[in-house]
Amino acid sequence: MNFEKVFYLPGDLCEVKHDIPNKPVMIVKNKASRMIRAIPSDIKKESLLGIVCYWFSTDLYYHEQTFSTKDLHKV
């Protein structure tokens, strides 16, 4: 298996890979990450939590959710 790395930047359009009805086209807001400290060396390492996306539903409500990069693809 050869997986191509995909990088998501703020403003990119994406959607969920899964086959669900009425899936919205979303806009990448930013990446969510956190710092993890390795013990005993006290070396800090950034860990990616996911990609924060937002979209507006058909009734114009704002929605925001963090997704794994494995669950998204660019439009």
Q: Which residue has the higher pLDDT, 73 or 1?
A: 73
Residue 50 above 60 pLDDT? yes
Please work out, in degrees rounded to the nearest 5, the angle formed at the alpha carbon of residue 30 by the alpha carbons of 29 and 35: 155
Token duo for residue 46 = 């950034």
Bond preceding residue 40 cis, omega within 30 of 0: yes
| pLDDT at res. 1 | 54
> Would you list the DSSP string of 5-70?
P----TT-EEEESS--TTPPPEEEEEEEEEEEEETTTTEEEEEEEEEEEEEE-TT--EEEEEE-GG
